A and B are shown apart, each in its own frame.
Chain A
Amino acid sequence: MGNLRTAPITLLVTALAVALADCAMAQGCAMCKTAVGGPGDPLSNGINTSILFMMAMPFVLFGAVGGWLTFVFWHHRGKKLELELLHTEREGAR
């Protein structure tokens, strides 16, 4: 079964899946194009921009904080493993 080693790949695939499913983001704006006015109507551009911005925000925030925490925890885990290794070596040497 996968463990922490496959986690980055899993995350990457998941992120890609989301991004690809999102390939219609540009058209996403068109959502209100017709509701609001004809093509070229600036308000539809406004809603378009707003959609893109708001949609990105949760991922940006989650990515930033999640990335920070992941990095810190991996770093810490590395240090802990080093310490444990030292400890057992010392014990073995006794």
Chain B
Amino acid sequence: MSEAAAAHGHEHEHHEGGFVSTYLFSMDHKMIGKQFLLLSLFMMIIGGVLALMVRWQLAYPEEPVPGMAWVPEPYLYEGIIPPETYNMLFTMHATIMIFFVVIPILVGAFGNFLIPLMIGTRDMAFPVLNMLSFWIAALAGVIMVSSFFVEGGASAGGWTAYAPLSAAEVYTGVGLGQDLWIISLVVLGISSMMGSINYITTIINMRAPGMTMFRMPLVIWSLFITAILLLLALPELTAAMAMLLFDRRFGTSFFLPETGGEPILWQHLFWFFGHPEVYILILPGMGVASEILAVFSRKPIFGYRAMAMAMIAIAFLGWVVWGHHMFQSGMNPTMGMAFMTTTMVIAVPSAIKTFNWLGTLWGGSITFQTPMLHALAFVSMFVIGGLSGIFMAATPVDIFIHDTYFIVGHIHYVVFGGSVFAIFGAVSYWFPKMYGRMMNETLGKIHFFGTLIFFNITFFPMHIIGVGGHMRRIYNPLQYEFLEPLQHWNEIMTIGAIGLGLFQIVFAVNFFYSMFAGEKAPQNPWNANTLEWEAPTPPPHGNFVEIPTVYRGPYEYSVPGEKEDWLPQAQPGAGVAAAH
């Protein structure tokens, strides 16, 4: 069944399209993007609740979690978290947040929604494949959540699933749950591969006339590069997962030392995927930040070409640094130095991007609407996360801080401080285009400031306690005498986490209320240049009345000599910068 035939069918059926074909099995990239967004926001709630339970246990070990007395044994004992469940909590928190929140929102939701609109085409290259990629991802989500309800519970070996802990049921007590975890990620990998093929083909082949590669908005560049990284990295993870499943269920011994396997092989295979994975998590966020910063400073992005090249460099270098996750594997110090060097080198393109963002802001006419606030938070929080990363890159330092809360702090500054703020920024920026209505600005600001403040309260002290020796993934800090002086930080961080969670309610209210009753949005509320704003709000099937022709790059803001402070890509005429 070709998509051309399907489109042909649509043309001849003068029907309204029932609920099922419009909202459930739509092949319209915009609807699929929204499906990804809604599914992921739901998963975010689950991931967030898991995190709050982890924080509760750390601050008030072995005290019953409020409101959780109803959870049956052996998961909780009248609300008290046992060690096995604790392992499950941090494992699933990370797995869900990484695989079922950040990637599906940035790549699945915004990739789908934005790519055809911003390159000026009617839909993705393969709409049927697109629809399938969502439903397969949804299936993966169902499998992952179902793992909580099987005997033995969900995976408890850490999201990194180190063997042999994850390779034999005897170590964690988790049986089917770990298998379901593996299968879920394999299924998700299939969905992701389909999406990558779609995105790459669409971006290469279906750009509007005049849209050269270097006139593409940076967010599209970031999604393009991310799609390539996903295409290369996820299949390798699938191979590793298959081997792990075989060790668990089919009697092989890839990772089990008793029968000739090699535990370090798992680390090697996992981190080969794991490092490109973190660049997959951050690159789209960088793209989003570039878009928003330019629009709300009314200035071109500083160094557009360097920005694109830096993202390419990050993607390239991401393949040669994975050993830095294994500094403590007992490696030869010379080798440690090699990976240390490459890890420090990879900070350079990120730094280039940071300075270019600052250059974009410098001298701009900055307005502080909600999307801009989130983009600014992205830049500053990501810088903090990057700086802690430099400490970790230095092998002699990492020997001490590996597997402490310093790492956890770093992770959350780059993934939450980076990617999640980028998500909030992207949602508030493109919400008008997606739903035809504006989000409430006051609620947006309340949500932003609450999130920013409580985010820092929750995650900054992690650097402090990490350097103080507080290990990660431990069940009860009070069991360790040397951690006692640090315990008050755990309480502070848990209060911060609760505040952080509560402020997300503001976002949820804003999101759903505005979707149905928000102020009607004009076609281009932000006076932005990029092509998606040429389409009606919200765009119908087919996106554009006529395919726009592109005359210039995407960041022609405040062009000297022009009447307005913006100059859309699709507006005809030479313009001052037409030679770009």
Direct contact of A and B (CB under 8 A): yes
Which A residues lie within 8 Å of B309 (CB)? 10, 14
Which A residues lie within 8 Å of B334 (CB)? 24, 27, 30
Q: Which of B321-341 contact A (CB under 8 A)?
A: 323, 326, 329-332, 334-339, 341
The 7 closest A-B pairs by CB, nearest first: A24-B338, A35-B330, A30-B332, A31-B335, A31-B331, A30-B335, A58-B232
- Whole-angstrom CA separation of A92 from B236 in the bound complex: 57
**Interface residues, chain A, with chain B CB atoms under 8 Å away:** 1-3, 10, 14, 17-18, 21-22, 24-25, 27-36, 43, 47, 50-51, 54-55, 58-59, 61-62, 69
B46 to chain A, nearest CB (A): 33
Extra inter-chain contacts (8) besides given A1-B305, A31-B335, A59-B319, CB under 8 Å:
A14-B313, A17-B313, A31-B329, A31-B332, A31-B336, A31-B339, A47-B264, A47-B268
- Whole-angstrom CA separation of A35 from B265 in the bound complex: 12
Which A residues lie within 8 Å of B331 (CB)? 30-35
B264 and A36 contacting across the interface, CB-CB below 8 Å: yes
Contact of B329 among A27, A32, A54, A55 (CB under 8 A): A32
Contact of A62 among B214, B232, B336, B342 (CB under 8 A): B232
Which A residues lie within 8 Å of B319 (CB)? 55, 58-59
- Whole-angstrom CA separation of A47 from B236 in the bound complex: 16
- Whole-angstrom CA separation of A31 from B338 in the bound complex: 9
Known: A14-B313, A31-B323, A58-B232. A50 touches B268 (CB 8 A): yes
Which A residues lie within 8 Å of B566 (CB)? none
Known: A21-B345, A58-B232. A33 touches B268 (CB 8 A): no
Name 29 interchain pairs, CB-CB below 8 A, sorted by A.
A1-B305, A2-B305, A3-B214, A17-B313, A18-B317, A21-B342, A22-B320, A24-B335, A25-B338, A27-B338, A28-B338, A30-B335, A31-B323, A31-B326, A31-B329, A31-B331, A31-B339, A32-B268, A33-B335, A34-B331, A34-B332, A35-B331, A50-B268, A55-B320, A58-B319, A59-B316, A59-B319, A62-B228, A62-B232
Which A residues lie within 8 Å of B264 (CB)? 32, 35-36, 47
A66 to chain B, nearest CB (A): 9
Which A residues lie within 8 Å of B313 (CB)? 14, 17
Which A residues lie within 8 Å of B305 (CB)? 1-2
B332 and A18 contacting across the interface, CB-CB below 8 Å: no
Which A residues lie within 8 Å of B326 (CB)? 31
Complex: chain B residue closest to A61, CB-CB: B232
Which A residues lie within 8 Å of B228 (CB)? 62
A14 and B329 contacting across the interface, CB-CB below 8 Å: no
A18 and B320 contacting across the interface, CB-CB below 8 Å: yes
- Whole-angstrom CA separation of A54 from B312 in the bound complex: 20
A61 to chain B, nearest CB (A): 7
B4 at the interface (CB under 8 A from A): no
Which B residues lie within 8 Å of A32 (CB)? 264, 268, 329-331
Complex: chain A residue closest to B272, CB-CB: A54
How many chain B residues have a CB neighbour from A under 8 Å? 33
B5 at the interface (CB under 8 A from A): no
B204 at the interface (CB under 8 A from A): yes
Complex: chain B residue closest to A43, CB-CB: B262
A9 to chain B, nearest CB (A): 12
Which B residues lie within 8 Å of A14 (CB)? 309, 312-313, 316
A63 to chain B, nearest CB (A): 11
A27 to chain B, nearest CB (A): 5
- Whole-angstrom CA separation of A91 from B52 in the bound complex: 72
- Whole-angstrom CA separation of A24 from B264 in the bound complex: 20
A27 and B332 contacting across the interface, CB-CB below 8 Å: yes
Which A residues lie within 8 Å of B323 (CB)? 28, 31
Which B residues lie within 8 Å of A3 (CB)? 214
- Whole-angstrom CA separation of A50 from B341 in the bound complex: 21
- Whole-angstrom CA separation of A58 from B315 in the bound complex: 11
Most buried by B among A10, A34, A69: A34
- Whole-angstrom CA separation of A25 from B547 in the bound complex: 49
Complex: chain B residue closest to A2, CB-CB: B305
B283 to chain A, nearest CB (A): 15
Question: B245-277 vs A: 1/0 string, CB under 8 Å?
Answer: 000000000000000001011001000100000
- Whole-angstrom CA separation of A31 from B342 in the bound complex: 14
Complex: chain B residue closest to A29, CB-CB: B335
Which A residues lie within 8 Å of B338 (CB)? 24-25, 27-28
A23 to chain B, nearest CB (A): 8
Question: B291-326 vs A: 1/0 string, CB under 8 Å?
Answer: 000000000000001000100110011011001001
